[in-house]
Amino acid sequence: MQFTFFHLMPYRPLDMAERHKHRAAWVVLPNSLYDPKKGADEYQSYVDQLVYAEQLGFDVIAVNEHHQTAYGLMPAPNLIAGMLIARTTKAKIAIIGRALPLVNNPVNIAEEFAMLDNLSRGRIITGFVRGIGNEYHATGINPFFSHERYQEAHDLIVQAWTRPGPFSFEGEHYNVRYVNLWPRPYQTPHPPIWIPSQGSSETIKWAADPQRKYPFLVTFSARDLVARYLNMYREQARQFGYEASPDQIGWATPIYVADTDERARAEARAGVETLFNDFLATPFQMLLPPGYMSLPSMKNTMRMRKALGARKRLTADELIESGTVVVGSPRTVRDELSRLRDATGAGKLIAMLQFGVLPDELTRRNMEMFASEVMPHLKN
């Protein structure tokens, strides 16, 4: 397997009592709750953790983009990627991803990735996403056109990377008279593109298309859903007439390892519960604005939510039982991960080893134990 150390960079000093006076830790959470001195310390810790992951033998270190939220402090993840290029030598650096529909000129995304690719001499992996629904509230971009803008921005960026410039791009949302990237990407034909997703069937079909064969990553889902979506991707590839390689399949999950199951659960509890209940939890109308999903998908989602009833606080035990997070002794974690790997043929694991309010010291121990006790057993 290929191992990625992934960071969200949450704002851990958040006053949770204040947080719950607001709808979400997103968009409407007053930024007076952000203390720049504490925030600067957070950035330092998190960048150090990403750099340390290379020393521990992770193949890839990864960041992503979120806006106006304590959930993740990277509205501009390429800035972090720039630092990581300077402080590492061999790890791939993944930005998974940039939210394409949120920008009004996707050429900027193509340019920045091309710069990073040159600066790193080809160590960059890109990710193309649409952003969480909250981001359409934060930016004002119309979620009704999210899918259209994503497709068009994707086409524009890939053409900018691969077609000799200058050329014109003529779209519905994006019209650019001169597309002519200086610099061009370092990698040929262009940096890898990964597709993190919650598993919509439209995305699976699009990513698995033989023209693209983009690696598909299911994020933050219960193990049954991870298996279902990854196998949907494999099945889709077969329908296209080929067998998906392990490199095309992966999943992202919070993981915590300690010497015993009991200790792991005790140490991970606060981090896991704050991640899902305080940082991520968002009302429906923010998380899934109209048009963010297709109408049939949204109708199904609404019915499922109605059947589930009122939302309540998730416990770490529940999240562990459902396999949404993987927490335990090295043996427990190895078994859980290898079972899902074997059930799906996945060759990529995106490990989130810092999550929620998990402090630096526990994060470091978690990273070290994962690298020494879990990773070697799962490497091919």
Partner 1 sequence: MPAAVSSHKVRDVTVRMMRQGSGPPLLYLHGANGLPPWLPMLETLSRQFEVIVPEHPGFGLSDNPPWIRNVGDLAMYYLDFIEALSPHPVNLVGLSLGGWVAAEVAVRNCTRLATLSLLAPAGLRVKGVPMGDNFIWDGEESVRNLYHDQSLADRLLAQAQSMTDDDADLALTNRFAAAKFGWEPRWFNPGLERWLHRISVRTLIVWGDDDKLFPAAYAARWGERIPGSRVEIIPDCGHGIALEKPDAAAKEIMRLIAGMR
Q: How far apart are CA 272 and CA 256, in angstroms?
A: 9
Q: How far apart are CA 247 and CA 4, in angstroms?
A: 12
Q: How far apart are CA 214 and CA 206, in angstroms?
A: 9
Give ∠ CA 67-275-288 in degrees, rounded to 5.
50
- For position 173 contacting partner 1 by CB under 8 A, the verdict is no
Q: Closest separation between CB of residue 68 and partner 1, Å?
A: 13
Q: Which is nearer to partner 1, 138 or 257 (CB)?
A: 138
DSSP 96-120: EEEEGGG-S-THHHHHHHHHHHHHT
Q: Alpha helices, DSSP H only, in the chain? A: 16-19, 36-55, 77-87, 107-119, 134-139, 146-162, 201-208, 223-239, 261-274, 284-287, 295-308, 316-321, 330-344, 360-369, 375-378
Among positions 291, 331, 368, 378, the unique one binding partner 1 when judged by CB under 8 A: 291
Q: Which tokens in the block code for residue 366?
A: 């978690």
Q: Which tokens in the block code for residue 125?
A: 């992996």
Window of 42-50, 191-199, 246-254, 289-297 that interacts with partner 1 by CB under 8 A: 289-297
Among positions 15, 16, 18, 28, the unique one binding partner 1 when judged by CB under 8 A: 28
- For position 304 contacting partner 1 by CB under 8 A, the verdict is no
- For position 295 contacting partner 1 by CB under 8 A, the verdict is yes
Q: For residue 63, what are the β-bridge partners?
A: 95
- For position 284 contacting partner 1 by CB under 8 A, the verdict is yes
Measured in Å, how far apart are the chain's first and last C-alpha atoms? 6
Q: Which is nearer to partner 1, 140 or 210 (CB)?
A: 140
Among positions 22, 262, 302, 372, the unique one binding partner 1 when judged by CB under 8 A: 302
Q: Which is nearer to partner 1, 289 or 356 (CB)?
A: 289
x/- mask, partner 1, residues 305-324, rule CB under 8 A, reads -x------------------
Q: Which is nearer to partner 1, 140 or 189 (CB)?
A: 140
- For position 290 contacting partner 1 by CB under 8 A, the verdict is yes
Burial class from Cβ neighbours inside 10 Å (0-12, 13-18, 19+) for residue 36 reads exposed
Among positions 141, 207, 369, 375, the unique one binding partner 1 when judged by CB under 8 A: 141
Among positions 289, 323, 330, 356, the unique one binding partner 1 when judged by CB under 8 A: 289
Q: Which is nearer to partner 1, 288 or 369 (CB)?
A: 288
What is the contact surface with partner 1 in residues (CB under 8 A)? Answer: 23, 27-28, 136-137, 140-145, 283-286, 289-291, 295, 298-299, 302-303, 306
